[in-house]
Structure 1
């Protein structure tokens, strides 16, 4: 799995499958592995490109502040490096915010856009949560950190599965590429400084806005705002799943993504 030196960092990326290019951008606290459960369905039809955002996974984690525009610029540099001119683009949560900045800066590179559990601007509650998560990383160990944030990510039904949450926490603790505490802080501040509400009307590619009905971190109103602001947006609300629906309801999520992409194929 390769890295490329761009914009002053080493950026890790992974490419699997054949077909039209589909680029996936993960969110806060997550790297390319977060998409793993839906990868088999995607790579059977698409050339899937995943990356670790700066500050996460196997990419460099500079101690200087980050911005989501900067992370979008990293993605553009990666596309130039691998000589891909145009992609379908999907981003989850913060990854969806990065995706918005990317399509606004380089609309010619984006064939379609999928915004999963994302937002244009946080409200007071969301901002308070994200600010706390950014501050918390340097004050508690990773096990306690995960125990604090996971109730915002998964449903009561998921929590009720014996051993499921414990397994996720164990995976995070043993993962060989944990996030640096300064990266959590810089990512949180990048999210807090993000606002595309007045620019959404400039996004003109076909867009899927996908959210779980039980998402309490980025609730339905955030996705409704995206769908209302983006001229060619389609809003799909999943009955099952919350913010972590890529883990909790992967089959439902990938089905919605593939249905959207299928409708874009030439007759």
Structure 2
């Protein structure tokens, strides 16, 4: 991926006209359409290319369901990769720690009846730049603002899971006018008020035997019944191509998150969703968030573990979409 550009560059074609929400009358920004390679300037493998290749790209066939990587500035020196799918008011999907946009591959189509979906490869993951410097959930939230600015979107709905939920907290609390509705999944407020995973879980994730830690993570993400019928590939176990320094930076960003004092300032309608059997990010964090955010709603999914959004998608996705399309605006 090209690095070092300080100018904002667009490699996907978006429609800049504003769109009024049919439900709330909110100006979301552009109506997005980025599934085709000929119009959006994507390579057939889904990665963006230089402006010089745009003419050739227009001759290509539509890209597969990977969508389009749109490169844009997310700092003075870094560029991030934005993946845009579907049409309609934007829904920002925020992935878990050390994961790229593929985290959402199994469920993002569930939202396209009413929303376009935007997913950013965090710094250090996917097609985005991977600087070896401090990351934080606040920094990742600033990157989301850069995405919305680039697209000309005044506001967006935001759905963050795991560390993505922590990023979403920062986004909604520090930039309340940019978030129309908020969904926080399998996440926590961080800091001293959060309920941390127990030591047995921690030890299971650092086992030295080959494959043992990966298996432990799988069992924290999914139920045995799901694993027995879904042999993979799995999209939620981390970006396999991340450099070691980026993994360390992501781990630090998640561990240092503390939004407790910010949460009462969240003004967007908020839904908190969590699996009742989540041990990776203990389920006790869900009521903490719901009680701390004014007017937040809480929904626990019985029997679900950390990746409730994928394993229990037939319940979770309609729940989230119904909330986004019917919750009255504050």
The separation in 1 between residues aligned to 2:204 and 2:256, in whole angstroms, is 15
Match of 1:168 in 2: 233
2:86 is aligned with 1:17: yes
Match of 1:74?
143
Give 1:136-147 correspondences, 5 Å limit.
145-147=213-215
Asked if 1:34 corresponds to 2:103, the answer is yes
Distance 1:130 1:98, change over 3 A: farther
Contact conserved, 2:135 with 2:250, CA < 8 A, in 1? yes
CA offsets, 1:113-170, max 9 Å, x none?
A: 000101102444369967996xx69x887x5553342222112222333xx34x236x
TM-score for the superposition, normalised by structure 2: 0.71
Provide the residue aligned with 1:159 in structure 2: 227
Kept in 2: contact 1:155–1:214 (CA 8 A): no
Counterparts of 1:4 and 1:97, CA distance in 2: 23
Higher helix share: 1
Q: Per-residue displacement from partner, 1:38-60 (whole Å, max 9, x unpaired)?
A: 22221121121111111111111
Q: Are 2:264 and 1:201 aligned? A: yes
CA RMSD of aligned residues (A): 2.7
Pair 1:58-2:124 in alignment: no
Structure 1 ranges of 4+ moved more than 4 A: 126-133
Question: Superposed, which structure 2 residues align to 1:86-125 within 5 Å?
Answer: 86-121=155-190, 122-125=194-197
- CA distance in structure 2 between the partners assigned to 1:172 and 1:238 by the alignment: 19
1:213 has 2:282 as partner: no
Q: TM-score, normalised by structure 1?
A: 0.86
Unaligned runs of 5+ in 2: 1-67
Structure number with greater Rg is 2
Structure 1 CA distance, aligned partners of 2:244 and 2:209?
A: 10
Number of equivalenced pairs: 257
Listed as ranges, the matches of 1:222-261 within 5 Å are: 222-261=285-324
- The alpha-carbon distance between structure 1 residues 49 and 207, as it changes in their structure 2 partners (threshold 3 A), is same
SS of residue paired to 2:284: helix
Q: 3-state SS of the aligned residue for 1:198? A: coil
